[in-house]
Amino acid sequence: MGAGKTMTGREVAERLGRTFVDMDEVLAGQHGAIRELFLRHGEPWFREREEQLTGAALDSSRADVIALGGGAPGSRKTREALSRRAYTVLLDIDVDRAWERVRETDRPNAQDEATFRRLYEERQPLYREVADAVATDADGVILAAGGVHHEPGALDRLGELVPGDGPAALLADATVLGIHGERAIRALGDRLAQTIEIPAGEQAKQLDVVRRVWSELRLDRTGTVVALGGGTTTDLAGFAAATYLRGVPWVPVPTTLVGQVDAAIGGKTAIDIPEGKNLVGAFRWPARVILDETLLETLPERERRQGRAELLKTELLANATLDVRGAAAYKTALCLRDPYDHGPRQWLNLGHTFAHALEAAADFDLPHGEAVALGLLAALRLSGRDTARVEQELQPRPVAVDGERAWQALLRDKKRAGDAINIVVLTGEGPAVEGRPPEEVRRQLDRLIS
Ligand SMILES: NC(=O)c1ccc[n+]([C@@H]2O[C@H](COP(=O)([O-])OP(=O)(O)OC[C@H]3O[C@@H](n4cnc5c(N)ncnc54)[C@H](O)[C@@H]3O)[C@@H](O)[C@H]2O)c1
């Protein structure tokens, strides 16, 4: 009671593109105001109706977001249905704040403070028993539902946080292994079956590296691949996990800002081939993503800048100021909503059509973050938006590449919708993919080139 299930549930449902079902509203809709029902029929009668309707909602084949009544987990049947049918998040609140919120409402069980506090204490153990995760806000619910664990210092709890109790193979970036490897190895303890070192940087995402990983891996299907490093390590390790034994679970532990706000989230894995970057890969949702921001303390400034471009991109999409946790939650929601990238997940490509074209024209000798910063300028201009924030925070400078090469790369990269080119833009209603005339797109591309 008073934890904010209705408000948070509604926000979570909207961000995940699901239907929101508030069990208290369903009950009131069928039988009348809850307070009246309590008075007229007594609580046991009410709980029986609640159990029936909750059971029906949980048995529905739709993946809805459901706000349960605070007393609902008191029913054994409901608890069983929850463990069978639902991913259950306890929305946690301390008793004093909860009481402040409900004291002047007409909720039947919040009419006097002593009863309220007693119920709070009584219900806690049941809540903890049914909860798959605990959260305090919408971001927390979304992160939990997506299997993303955010905790400073989480690296030291790796052994507990990697789901299951089978063996783990640690795949780590050579540089990161030197800096944070010992802690990871200690934290995995008895679960660590082997450590495989991966080259640092984009060289990791090569077929010969995957081949070596396939032949060195000694896991059976009870094992988990744990990836420690930036986006290149997690892309490579995720792809190895997706293909080894037709797929074993994997847990990315991203150590770059790019990795924490972007690459490690959403289950896209890939390697490069001579024909292009990320051309071979698989969708494989991680068993858990572990975000430990303290790992970023050793990240060189040059690498941090790459991440800031993706973070600002996410802020523009969300139209909000975000930290690492908030940006991770934003991406997680889009990926849960559209795991295979057929719809809103494509918004994450804001600015990227231009960025990829510039990178290709520069033979990939242009840091991705700098290309994204330029791409954001073009996307904002096409959206009729102010570019001041991108200019101040990322200071993009036009690059010296061949304009025609960049244009050809852009045409190859992008799906064309008839005569138009599909571009992610920001509209009054939020991000959208819109077809734009080629001349307009070319003009914006040319402005990014010196
Ligand atoms: N799968 C996806 O959805 C997705 C999304 C975005 C980007 N990506 C991919 O991510 C890759 C880029 O990732 P990245 O920017 O993290 O680069 P990266 O993995 O190459 O890491 C950058 C450099 O930082 C070093 N490093 C990493 N963590 C460190 C730490 N904590 N302390 C000190 N040094 C550290 C690495 O050794 C490396 O040299 C690209 O290949 C891109 O395609 C994938």
| Cα–Cα nearest to 198, from 240, 260, 248 | 240
- The two beta strands, 89-91 and 133-135, are parallel
pLDDT at position 293 is 98
Average pLDDT for 15-33 = 94
Closest atom of ligand 1 to CA, residue 233: 19
Rounded Cα distance, 187 and 209, in Å:
26
Pair 432, 350: CB distance under 8 Å: no
Say if ligand 1 is within 6 A of residue 332 CB. no
Say if ligand 1 is within 6 A of residue 266 CB. yes
Name which residue sits closest to atom 20 of ligand 1, judged by CA: 201
Q: Looking at the predicted structure, is the pLDDT value of residue 291 above 90?
A: yes
Q: Looking at the predicted structure, is the pLDDT value of residue 154 above 70?
A: yes
Ligand 1: which of 255, 279, 295, 346 to mutate, judged by most atoms within 8 Å of the beta carbon? 255
Say if ligand 1 is within 6 A of residue 409 CB. no
Number of residues written out for the chain: 450
Q: Looking at the predicted structure, is the pLDDT value of residue 417 above 70?
A: no
Q: Looking at the predicted structure, is the pLDDT value of residue 415 above 70?
A: no
Say if ligand 1 is within 6 A of residue 344 CB. no
Pair 210, 271: CB distance under 8 Å: yes
Say if ligand 1 is within 6 A of residue 331 CB. no
Q: Radius of gyration over alpha carbons of the chain, in Å?
A: 25
Say if ligand 1 is within 6 A of residue 181 CB. no
3-state secondary structure (DSSP) of residue 437: coil
Say if ligand 1 is within 6 A of residue 200 CB. yes
Name which residue sits closest to atom 44 of ligand 1, judged by CA: 263
pLDDT at position 329 is 98
Ligand 1: which of 175, 295, 331, 340 to mutate, judged by most atoms within 8 Å of the beta carbon? 175
Residue 98, Cα to own-chain centre: how many angstroms?
28
What are the chain's domains? 5-142 (3.40.50.300), 148-299 (3.40.50.1970), 337-446 (1.20.1090.10)
Name which residue sits closest to atom 6 of ligand 1, judged by CA: 263
Pair 361, 406: CB distance under 8 Å: yes
**CA of 425: how far to CAs of 89, 340, 343, in Å?**
34, 20, 14
Say if ligand 1 is within 6 A of residue 272 CB. no
Q: If you write DSSP's letter for every residue of 74-99 in order, what string do you get?
A: GSHHHHHHHHHH---EEE---HHHHH
Rounded Cα distance, 157 and 166, in Å:
15
| Cα–Cα nearest to 168, from 217, 119, 235 | 217
Q: Position of tokens 């992610």?
A: 424
3-state secondary structure (DSSP) of residue 318: helix
Q: What is the mean pLDDT of the chain?
A: 95
- The two beta strands, 268-273 and 276-283, are antiparallel
**CA of 2: how far to CAs of 10, 24, 28, 136, 175, in Å?**
15, 13, 18, 12, 48
Q: Which amino acid is at 274?
A: P
Residues in Cβ contact with 32 at an 8 Å cutoff, skipping those fewer than 6 apart: none
pLDDT at position 413 is 73
Distance 303 CA to ligand 1 centre (A): 8
Q: Looking at the predicted structure, is the pLDDT value of residue 318 above 70?
A: yes
Residues in Cβ contact with 182 at an 8 Å cutoff, skipping those fewer than 6 apart: none
Say if ligand 1 is within 6 A of residue 359 CB. no
What is the tens place of the pLDDT at every residue in 359-402? Answer: 999 998 999 999 999 999 999 999 999 999 999 999 999 999 99
Name which residue sits closest to atom 34 of ligand 1, judged by CA: 299
Pair 290, 158: CB distance under 8 Å: yes
| Cα–Cα nearest to 203, from 298, 272, 262, 265 | 272
Name which residue sits closest to atom 30 of ligand 1, judged by CA: 299
Q: Looking at the predicted structure, is the pLDDT value of residue 223 above 70?
A: yes
What is the tens place of the pLDDT at every residue in 181-197? Answer: 999 999 999 999 999 99
Rounded Cα distance, 180 and 436, in Å:
46
Q: Which amino acid is at 63?
A: A
| Intra-chain end-to-end CA distance of the chain, in Å | 60
Q: What angle do CA 364, 304, 413 make, to 5 degrees?
A: 30
Say if ligand 1 is within 6 A of residue 196 CB. no
Pair 324, 365: CB distance under 8 Å: no
CB contact burial 263-285 (16+ within 10 A = b; e otherwise)? bbbbbbbbbbeeeebeebbeebb
Ligand 1: which of 173, 177, 234, 277 to mutate, judged by most atoms within 8 Å of the beta carbon? 173
Give the predicted TM-score (pTM) of the model: 0.95
Rounded Cα distance, 189 and 205, in Å:
28
What is the tens place of the pLDDT at every residue in 72-131? Answer: 999 999 999 999 999 999 999 999 999 999 888 888 888 889 999 999 999 999 999 999
Express as a percent the part of the chain with pLDDT over 90: 91
Q: Looking at the predicted structure, is the pLDDT value of residue 224 above 80?
A: yes
3-state helix, strand, coil in the chain (%, to 5): 55, 15, 25
pLDDT at position 414 is 65
Name which residue sits closest to atom 19 of ligand 1, judged by CA: 230
Closest atom of ligand 1 to CA, residue 174: 37
Rounded Cα distance, 310 and 181, in Å:
26
Name which residue sits closest to atom 2 of ligand 1, judged by CA: 263
Average pLDDT for 12-37 = 93
Residues in Cβ contact with 184 at an 8 Å cutoff, skipping those fewer than 6 apart: 155, 158, 170, 172, 226, 228, 253
Say if ligand 1 is within 6 A of residue 262 CB. yes
Express as a percent the part of the chain with pLDDT over 70: 99
What is the tens place of the pLDDT at every residue in 394-414? Answer: 999 999 999 999 999 999 876
- The two beta strands, 133-135 and 148-150, are unpaired
Say if ligand 1 is within 6 A of residue 298 CB. yes
